[in-house]
Structure 1
Amino acid sequence: MKKFLYIFIMLFVVGWAQAQQRVVYTINDGWKFTKGSPFEAQLNNCDDSSWETVNIPHTWNDKDADDETPGFYRGPAWYRKQLFVDKSQEGRQAVIYFEGANQEVQLYLNGQFVGEHKGGYTRFCFDITSKLRYGQENLFAICVNNTYNPNIPPLSADFTFFGGIYRDVYLQFMNPVHIATNDYASSGVYIRTPEVNSSSASVEITTLLTNNTLRSAEVIVESLICDADGKEVKRTQADIKLVSGETKADISKKIKIDSPRLWDIDDPYRYMVYTRIFDKKKGALLDEVVNPLGLRWFEFDSEKGFFLNGKWRKLIGTARHQDYFQKGNALRDELHVQDVLMLKEMGGNFLRVSHYPQDPVIMEMCDKLGIVTSVEIPVVNAVTETEEFLTNSVEMAKEMVRQDFNRPSVMIWGYMNEIFLRRPYTEGKQLEDYYHFTEKVARTLEATIRKEDPSRYTMMAYHNAPRFYEAAHLTEIPMIQGWNLYQGWYEPDINEFQRLLDRAHKMYKGKVLIVTEYGPGVDPRVHSYQPERFDFSQEYGLVYHKHYLDEMMKRPFVAGSSLWNLNDFYSESRVDAVPHVNNKGILGLDREVKDTYLFYKTALIRRPILAIGNREWKARGGVVNTEQNECVQSVPVFSNAEEVELFVNNKSLGKKKTESGYALFDVPFVNGENQLEALAVAGDTKLHDMLRIHFQLVSSQLKDKTLPFTEINVMLGSPRYFEDRVANVAWIPEQEYKPGSWGFVGGTPYRRKTGFGTMLGSDIDICGTDMNPVFQTQRVGIESFKADVPDGEYSVSLYWAELDSDKKKEALIYNLGADSEQTLVGNRSFGISINGVTVVDDFNVARDYGYARAVIKKFVVTVKNGKGLSIDFHKKEGETILNAIRIYRNY
C-alpha cells in the first residue's frame, strides 16, 4: 500500500512541477496592420477594421523591392492584435519576446506603454506581467519605425532596410522565480569552456536567477550535462537564496568531463546543458532552460591560419543576407534552414553572418552542421559623431554577444564593415576629428566585446583603402583583419588581388587575415563566350572565383574567406542586370544554383560529385557553325573525378580531364530537343547526370530550306546570350552582316567610360521591362540591320532605351569608382525605313519616352521578290541607335 501511495504522490508532484515550467508559444497570426501613424492607435477605441490582416514574419517593403519606384517606404507602421490569455497562466511571470523587428519598436498593452527597443537585428523582450489581463482579451499595439535615424546603425548599406516585425514573436509564461529573461534577451545561462583538450574539458556555467515574488526564495540550482543521446554526463547543484525583486548570478565550479567528444567541422557533436531551478522546501521544479554545449578549442595564427582542436583548417565559406525572392526579409524558419543546408552541401565550413545578427535558427543550424561562424553588428559605411550613436552600438554589441554566447559554432565577433566607405569629410580638421571619433567607437566596441567574451576573436572588415584605416589606427585594433577585395570587378586588374594579400601580410605583422568579401555579379540568365568584368555572365563568374580561390589556397596566412554572397539579395540603390538586386550570390534570390556554386561544391566536397553546368539555361539559341547544321557551344561539366565523359543526343564527345573542378566540352547542339548525359567514375562510385535543353538554331544562310527560318532575337552591341525565361525565348549576340545571312551594318558597341577604363553597356535601370540586359547594350551609329529572309509576312520588333541621360546622377558608392563617367545625351533624332519605305521620320527616344525606358516598336512587313529585310536608320541629329531586334515569321 505504501508503494502505491508513494507512486501517487510522485506522479502528483511531477505533474504539478511540469505545470510550473515555462510555456512558450508564438503569436504570429492574424495581426491588423497599417502604415503611418493613425490617431491613438494604441487604444481600444481605435478603429482598425479597414486595416490589412497580416501574419508575422512580415515586412511592409516586400513589394518595394521589385517595383520601379525609386526608394522604399521608411516610416512608422502599426500592428494590433486582440489576444485572449488563458486564466491558467495568472500569477506567473509574462514576457513578450521578439526575434527581430526593424528598427525602432514601441510596445503598448491594453493602452499602456510597456517599453521600446532600438536596433533592427537583435532580439529583445518586455515584461508584461503587470499589464496583462487573464481570462479575457488583451490589446497588443506595436509601433515599428524604420525611418532613418542617425543615432542607430546601420546608417547606410548595400542592402535594403526592410521594415516590420520580420521574425517570430513569442509569449513566455514562467514561475515568478525563474532563470532571468532580462539580460539582453539572452537565455540567462552562460556556458564557458576555459580548458578543453582531447583528454578532458572543464565547463563553467553562470546562471542568472530572478525572484519576482514579494518574499525571499530559497532555491536549488541544478546544471545537468547530457550527451547527444540524453544520457547524463555530469550534474551539479547549489543552494541559492534570493531576496525579493533580485536578479542574481550563480556561478558553478569547474565541471570536469573526461574523454570529451569534441565539436568539430566533420563531427559537430553537441552536449546539452539543462539548467533547472527547484523550490528548496517543496522540491518543485520552478523553471528550466536548455542550451547547447560544444567542446572545442581553436586558434588563429597570423602565419599559419586557423586551427580547430589542434588541426589546421582552411575556412572557406560565404557571407549571407537574410532576404528571399518577393518576400524581403520576412522568412519562415524553413527558408533560413535551407540556406545553411545549401552552404553545407556546397562544402562550406565558414559563415560570416553579415552585416547583422540573424534569425536564431541560423546559428542553431551552424551548430548542428559544423560551420564555423562570425557574427557582427551593423556598424556599416559610416558613424555618427554622437554619444548616442556610440551607446546604441555598444548596446547592440552586448545583445549580440549575450544572445549567441553559448553557440559552439561562433568563434568570431565582428563590429565594423567598410566604415570609411562613406566618409563625410575628405580633408582638414573635420576629417581628423571624424577619424578620432571613429577610432573611439572602434576601441570602445573592441573593449566591450573582449570584456563580454574573452574566449573568442574580434574582427573588423575594411575595403581596399588601407590608408584611411591606417590614419584612424583601425588596422591596429581588432584581432582579425577582414579585407573586402573586388579586384577584377570594381577594379580592372584581377591579379592585384594576390598582390594586396601579400601587402597586407607584410604590412600588418601579427594580424590574422581573412578575406571577408569578394565576388562578381552574376545574372544566371546571361552568358558570354567572351566574358569580361561587369558583363554579369555565368562564365565570368567562373573565371573570377577560380582565380580568387586558387590564390587564397596558395597562402597559408589567409586563415579563411567568406565570398560575397551565399545568395543574391535586395539592394534598393542598385540597378545592374536585375534592378534593386545585388547579383553577387552563388545562389539566386530564389536559391537557383549558379555555376559558381557548383564550382565550389566540386572544389570543397570530398564525396564524388558530377553535375552538368548551365543547368537552368534550358532555352538556348545560336547560329549554325558546322557543316552538319549544328551550333557548337561550350558547356562546363563539374566533377571532382579525374575525368568525365559527355554525351549529346547519345553520341559521346569523348573524355576530358577536369581542371579546378570542371571540364569544358564543345557541344554540337541541333535544332529542338537536345539531351546531355555526363558519366564519371570516382573510386568505386559511378556518377551520372542528365540534362535536357531546347535549342533554337538559326541558320547562317536564312534561305536554307533544310532549316526553315522561324525567328531571330539579337542583342546589339553585345557578345552576350540572354535567356528570357518567362517566354522561353533565346537572345543571341550580334554579328556583322554578310550576304545571304543577317546582321548589322555600321556603328560601334556602346561602352561606358568609368574610372577604370570602359565596360560593356550601361549599368542603369531600364524601366518598363524585366529584361534589363536586352536593353542595356546598343549599337551606336548603326546604318542598317539586314536579314536575307525568305519571302513572307514578318513581325519586326525594334528595341530601344536611351542610355545617356540629360541629368546628372549620383555615383553609387559601392561601385568603388566603376560607375560611368556620365555622358549627357544631346538631341538624338533619326528616321527609319524598312525595305525602302519610311516607317518613322523623326524618332527621338529621349523626347518621346524619356531616359532609361524600354521602347519596343513592332512593324508588320511583307517580304517579296527575294529581297529580304533591310531596316535602315537615317541620321538627322546625333547618332542613331538600336538596342535589340526580333524578327518573327508570321506566314
Structure 2
Amino acid sequence: MMKKILSLFAMFLVAVCLHAQQRVVYTINDGWRFAKGSPFEAHLTSCDDSSWETVHIPHTWNAKDADDDQAGFYRGPAWYRKRLFVDKSQEGRRAVIYFEGANQEVQVYLNGQYLGAHKGGYTRFCMDVTSHLCYGQENLLAVCVNNVYNPNIPPLSADFTFFGGIYRDVYLQFMNPVHLATNDYASSGVYIRTPEVSKTTASIEVTALLTNELDKPQEVIVENVICDASGKEVKKHQMTCCLLAGETKTTVAKKIKMESPRLWDIDDPYRYLVYTRIFDKKGALLDEVVNPLGFRWFAFDSEKGFFLNGKHRKLVGTARHQDYFQQGNALRDELHVQDVLLLKEMGGNFLRVSHYPQDPIVMEMCDKLGIVTSVEIPLINAVTETEEFLTNSVEMAKEMVRQDFNRPSVMIWGYMNEIFLRRPYTEGKQLKDYYHFTEKVARELEATIRQEDPSRYTLMAYHNAPQFYEEAHLTEIPMILGWNLYQGWYEPDINKFQCLLDRAHQVYKGKILMVTEYGPGVDPRLHSYQSERFDFSQEYGLNYHKHYIAEMMKRPFVAGSSLWNLNDFYSESRIDAVPHVNNKGVVGLNREKKDTYLFYQAALCKRPVLAIGNREWKARGGVVNTSERACKQAVPVFSNAKEVELLINGRSLGVKAVENGSAIFEVPFVNGLNQLKATAVVGNSVVEDWLEVCFQLVAADLKEHGADFTEMNIMLGSPRYFEDRTAQVAWIPEQEYKPGSWGFVGGTPYRRKTNFGFMLGSDIDIFGTDMNPIFQTQRVGIQSFKADVPDGEYSVYLYWAELDSNKEKEALVYNLGADVGQILAGNRSFGVSINGMQVLDDFNIARDYGYARAVVKKFIVTVKNGEGLCVDFHKKEGEPVLNAIRLYRNY
C-alpha cells in the first residue's frame, strides 16, 4: 500500500514539474499610461506620467479624431508606458514581449533600455526582453508608436483611415532557455505541410525551429503528436536533436502517414491539432506549441474555377476591414469573431482579408467555420521608388506567410491592390521608370511568396485600367488576377461589368480570374423608389448586387468574388452620405444588417431563410395614395423558399413567388403602428418573420383631410426617403404643389456634373449635422413652398446649406471621376416671406454661415382664415434655394 502511495506521489511530482516547465503566455493589456506627442525622456523611469491618460489595449488615438468635422486626423508619435511586476518564479527563463499589431512604426524600451523597433502596422512582432527584465520587482515598459506618413513603409495611401496605436493584444511569454524559436518573424516556430492529401491517405511534414539559449550544447527529443478534434492521439513522431550553445536549428519530421484522413472542407471544416514538444534527455517537457492541421487539396482552373478536395466550389464572400463604430481599429476579440460569424451566417464561403493581415483570431475563425481566405500585405495605390520600400515590402510578405502558414483556410497570398490608382507620372521616361520599378517590386514579392510557400496561389488586384497594368507587365506575374470593378457606381453603365469579365477571360488566357471588389455605397437610412447611381439608397444597392452576382454565377471561369465590403469602415477623406465612412458594407459600422446582406443570405444559404426587408426602417412616412387612406410602399421579403406570404395587421397581401432571392409586396401602411408578418415553407420547415413599423401618414388632400395633420418633413430636390433615427422622424420626398395639397412651386433639383453625367445632390460633408442627406440635396430657383394646412399655430423649420463653393476642392481619387465638375458659387442672396410677412431680407448663406454648413431657422407662424401656409422666396442675386422643410402643428 505504501509503495502505491509513494508511486502516486512520485507521479504527482513529475506532473507538477512538467507543468512548471511549460510556456506561460498572458496579456498585459490593462492599465497603460498614454500621451500623444514626444514627452521628454518618456522611455526613462524618471519620466513623470502621472498626468497621462490611462488606457487599455486594444487602443487607438484616432477613434473619435478621425470621425469629427475637422479635416484630417492625428498622424504622429505617441507613447505608452506600463509598469510590470514579474514574479520571481519566472527568473531563469526566457521572456518575450509579443505584439499582435501596432500602427505603424514602433520602438520598445524596458527599464530605460532600447529593445528594438518594428516597421509595418498590420503584422505581428516580438522582442526578447530577458536581459533587461527585473524579477520580483517593478519594471517599466515604454513603447513609442508613430503612424506618421513614411514613404518607405506601405501603405502610402488608401481608402481607409490609418489609425495609430497599439490596437491589438500585447503578451508576455515565458519559456525555458531551450524552446521552439520565437525569433522567426513572430511565427510559432513550427511549419506544417501536407504534400500528399487524398480521401484515403495523407502525409504530414513538420518543420520545427529549435533554439538553445544556454551556454552549453543540449541533446533534446522533438515530438510531434497529431490529435483529432476530440483530443485523441492518432499519430506520434519523435526524433533526437543536438543543439549547440546559442544555436537555432531546423528539424524536419518528414512523411508522417495518415490513413483515411477526415478532410477540411467548407461544409465540414474538420481540424486536427499538432502538438510540437521538446523534451530533455530525462523526458522533462521543455516547451510546447500547438498548431491547427487541416487536410485538404485545392486547385484553381482558368476555365472552370475553384476546386476543393476535388469538388467544384464557387467562392462567394466579402472583403473585410477591421473597423467598428466609434472604436476605429481597436477591437476586442469578440468583435472580430462576430464579423466572421456574420459572413458565415450570410452564406459566404470566402473572405478576402484586406488590405492587410488582421487579428489572428480572424484566421482562427475562418479555420473553424470553413471559410476559404486570401490574405494580403498593404501595398495599395502606389509604390515609392527606393530599395528601402522594396525591402520593407518583402519583409511584410515574409511576416504574413510565416505567421499564418499553418492555417488550413488560407489558400491565397495577395499583394498590390490597385497599385496604379495614384500614378505619380502620366507619361514619358519617368512613367516608364516607375512602371519598371513597380514590376521589380511585384516580381520580388511573387518570388518571395512562392519560395516561402509553393503550395498556395498568389493574387494581385487591379482597378479598371487594364492598360496600365499590361504596360508594366503586372498582369503576367501573379497566378490569380483579381479585378476591382464598379460599373454602375463609379462608372455609369452597370452592363459594362459583364463585358469586362468576358474581356478579361479572352485577353488573359490561362490566368485565373476573380472579382476582388464590387459594390455601391448604401446608407440604410435612405430609400428611394426612383433609385439611381450614387443615391446611397437601400434599393439601388440591392439592384446592383443582384445584377453582379447573377452575372458572375453565369460564368464558370470566374473562380470567385469578394464583395466590397463586409462592413462599413472609416475612411477619413470620404464624404458621401455619411462623412468619413465608406458605406459599401453589407452591414454597418455597428453591424446593422442591410437589405444587401439579407439578399445574399437568401441567395447563398441552404438552411431556411426568411426576412422582411427594410428591417431598420421603423420610422417610415409617406403620402396617402389609396382610396382606403393608406400609403402603399414596396417592401422586399427575402427568402430561399419558392413563395412567401405577407400579412399586414392580420390581413393577407397574398402569396408571391420568390425571384432572385426576394419577393416584392406593395404594402398599404396606415397611420401609426403596423405589424408585418411573413410566412413561407422551406423544405419541411415553416418559417415566419415579424416586423413592426411606425408609419407617419401625410394627407395628399389637406383641404379635405387636414384636420388630422400633425407634421410633415420634406426633402427638397430629392426623390429619397430618409429616417432620422435619433428623433424617430420620417423624411419623405418632395412633390409639386397642387391646390388643396402641398409642395414646391418652381425651381429644379440640384444635380452636380461629373465626367459620367449628372448625379443627385452633392457629395460634400455638411458641417454641424449628422444628417448629411437632408442637406446634400436642394431645389434651386424655388419660388414657393405651399401647404394648405388647417388654421392653427405652426413651427416652420427651413433647412439650408450652401452646396456651391467659391473654392476648388480636391477630387477624391477613389470616386474615379464621379466627383469632378464642381460648381463654383457666385454671391447668392434672397429674401423669404411667410404668408406675406417678410422674415428674411438679405439672406446670404455663404456670407453668414460659410460653405457646407447646416443652417436651420425655425419660425412660429399662425395660420388663419383658411389661407394655409405659403413660404415665398424672393430672388436678389443668384438663385434662391431650399434644402428641406419641416412643418409641425403646435396647436
TM above 0.5: yes
- Counterpart mapping for 1:307-386 below 5 A: 307-386=307-386
Write the letter of the residue equivalent to 1:246: E
CA distance in 2, matches of 1:707, 1:844: 36
Judge conservation of contact 2:267–2:370 (CA < 8 Å) in 1.
Answer: yes
1:219 equivalent in structure 2? 220
CA deviations over 1:440-494 (Å, ceiling 9, x no partner): 0000000000000000000000000000000000000000000000000000000
- Secondary structure of 1:486 counterpart: coil
Is this contact kept in 1: 2:300–2:306, CA < 8 A? yes
Does the residue aligned with 2:702 lie in a helix, a strand or coil? coil
C-alpha displacement at 1:398, in angstroms? 0.2
User: Does the 8 Å contact 2:699/2:706 carry over to 1?
Assistant: no
Per the alignment, residue 723 of structure 1 pairs with 723
Give, in angstroms, the shift of residue 744 of structure 1.
0.2
How far residue 347 of structure 1 moved from its aligned partner, in angstroms, is 0.4
Superposition map of 1:61-72 within 5 A: 61-72=62-73
Q: CA deviation at 1:702?
A: 1.5
Match of 2:232 in 1: 231
Specify the alignment match of 2:709 in structure 1. Answer: 709
Q: Is the 8 A contact 2:706 2:789 kept in 1?
A: no
> Partners of 1:592 and 1:9 in 2: how far apart?
58
Give the residue type in structure 2 aligned to 1:810: E
1:193 and 2:183 correspond: no
The aligned residue for residue 306 of structure 1 is: 306
| Local SS of the residue matching 1:550 | helix
**How much has 1:682 moved relative to structure 2?**
1.3
CA distance in 1, matches of 2:837, 2:482: 63
Q: Where does residue 677 of structure 1 map in the other structure? A: 677
Corresponding position of 1:181: 182
Which residue is equivalent to 2:667? 667
1:747-786 equivalence runs, <5 A? 747-786=747-786
Amino acid at match of 1:734: E
Question: Structure 1, unaligned stretches of length 5 or more?
Answer: none
Question: 1:220, 1:237 within 8 Å by CA — same for their partners in 2?
Answer: yes
- Alignment of structure 1 residues 41-440 onto 2, 5 Å: 41-280=42-281, 282-440=282-440
After TM superposition, the structure 1 stretch with the greater mean CA deviation from structure 2, 9-18 or 195-204, is 9-18
Structure 1 partner of 2:455: 455
- TM-score, length-scaled by structure 2: 0.99
Which amino acid in the other structure matches residue 165 of structure 1? I
Quick one: which amino acid aligns to residue 254 of structure 1? Answer: K
For the residue of structure 2 that corresponds to 1:286, the secondary structure is strand
Shift of the alpha carbon at 1:714? 0.2
Alignment partner, residue 652 of structure 1 = 652
Q: Residue 10 of structure 2 aligns with which residue? A: 9
Give the drift of 1:65: 2.6
Shift of 1:683: 1.8
What is the alpha-carbon distance in structure 2 between the residues aligned to residue 720 and residue 56 of structure 1? 42
CA drift of 1:270 comes to 0.2
The worse-fitting range, judged by mean Cα deviation, of 707-716 and 74-83 is 707-716
Deviations 1:166-208 (A, max 9, x none): 0000000000000000000000000000000110000000000
Distance in 2 of aligned mates of 1:192 and 1:377: 22
Deviation at 1:883, TM superposition (A): 0.3
Work out the CA distance in 1 between the residues paired with 2:458 and 2:432: 25
Matched residue type, 2:353? V
Q: 2:745 matched to 1:745?
A: yes
Distance 2:174 2:735 in 1: 71
Specify the alignment match of 2:583 in structure 1: 583
1:283 Cα deviation from its structure 2 partner: 1.2
How far off its partner does 1:707 sit? 5.7
Matches of 2:289 and 2:694, distance apart in 1: 56
Deviation track 1:642-685 (CA, whole Å, cap 9, x = no partner) reads 00000011100000000001000000000000000001111211
User: Structure 1 residues 491 and 705 mapped into 2: Cα distance closer, same or farther (>3 Å)?
Assistant: closer
**Map of 1:605 onto structure 2:** 605
Shift of 1:6: 3.1
Which residue number in structure 2 is paired with residue 697 of structure 1? 697
Q: Secondary structure at the match of 1:644?
A: strand
Kindly indicate whether the alpha-carbon contact (under 8 Å) linking 2:379 and 2:417 is maintained by their aligned counterparts in 1: yes
* Match in the other structure for 1:832: 832
Measured in 2, the distance between the counterparts of 1:523 and 1:438 equals 37
Matched residue, 1:482: 482
Alignment partner, residue 854 of structure 2:
854
**1:634·1:665 contact (CA, 8 Å) conserved in 2?**
yes
Q: CA deviation at 1:10?
A: 2.4
Are the structure 2 counterparts of residues 707 and 457 from structure 1 closer, same or farther at C-alpha, using a change threshold of 3 Å? farther
Q: Give the letter aligned to residue 459 of structure 1.
A: L
State how far apart, in whole Å, the 2-side matches of 1:323 and 1:859 are: 42
Deviation at 1:705, TM superposition (A): 4.3
Amino acid at match of 2:136: G
1:210-267 Cα offsets, whole Å, 9 max, x none, are 0001111110000000000111111000000001110000001210100000000000
Counterpart check, 1:34 vs 2:35: yes
Secondary structure in 2 matching 1:48: coil
Partner of 1:561: 561
Structure 2 partner of 1:496: 496
1:570 pairs with 2:570: yes
Q: Retained in 1: the 8 A contact 2:706–2:790?
A: no
May I ask how many residue pairs the two structures share in their alignment? 890
* Aligned twin of 1:791: 791
One-letter amino acid of the counterpart of residue 247, structure 1: T
Distance 2:165 2:705 in 1: 61
Does the 8 Å CA contact 1:65/1:326 hold for their aligned counterparts? no
* Aligned-residue offset at 1:706: 7.4
Confirm or deny: 8 A CA contact 1:28 1:55 kept in the other structure.
Answer: yes
For residues 359-403 of structure 1, the C-alpha deviation after alignment (integer angstroms, 9 at most, x for no partner) is 000000000000000000000000000000000000000000000
Distance 1:818 1:576 in 2: 11
Q: In structure 2, what is the Cα distance between the partners aligned to 1:230 and 1:836? A: 84
Distance 1:252 1:405 in 2: 17
After TM superposition, give the deviation of residue 852 of structure 1 in Å. Answer: 0.4
1:99–1:167 CA contact under 8 A, matched in 2: yes
Tell me how far apart the structure 2 counterparts of residues 517 and 704 of structure 1 sit (CA, whole Å).
52
- How far apart are the structure 1 equivalents of 2:256 and 2:50? 57
1:800 corresponding residue in structure 2: 800
| Cα 1:544–1:640 shift into 2, 3 Å | same
Deviation at 1:627, TM superposition (A): 1.1
Cα contact 1:39–1:46 (8 A) shared by 2: yes
SS in 2 for 1:823: coil
Alignment correspondent of 1:842: 842
Cα separation, 1, equivalents of 2:411 and 2:486: 25
SS in 2 for 1:703: helix
**CA-CA distance at 1:17 after TM superposition:** 1.3
**Worse-superposed segment, 819-828 or 146-155:** 819-828
Using the TM superposition, give the Cα deviation of residue 66 of structure 1 relative to its aligned residue in structure 2, in angstroms: 2.0
- SS of alignment partner, residue 254 of structure 1: strand
Where 2:506 maps in the other structure, the secondary structure is: helix
Superimposed CA distance per residue, residues 745-798 of structure 1 (whole angstroms, 9 cap, x where no aligned partner): 000000000010110000000000000000000000000000000011111010
Cα shift at 1:309: 0.0
Counterpart of 1:612, as a letter, is I
In structure 2, the residue corresponding to 1:79 is in which secondary structure?
strand
Name the SS for the 1:389 alignment partner.
helix
- Kindly state the Cα deviation for residue 4 of structure 1 after the two structures are TM-superposed: 3.6
For residue 249 of structure 2, give the secondary structure of its aligned residue in structure 1.
strand
What code does the residue aligned with 2:755 have? G
Kept in 2, the 8 Å contact 1:702–1:708? The answer is no
Paired position in structure 1 for 2:542:
542
Native 8 Å contact 2:699 2:705 kept in 1: no
Is the Cα contact below 8 Å between 1:699 and 1:707 reproduced in 2? no
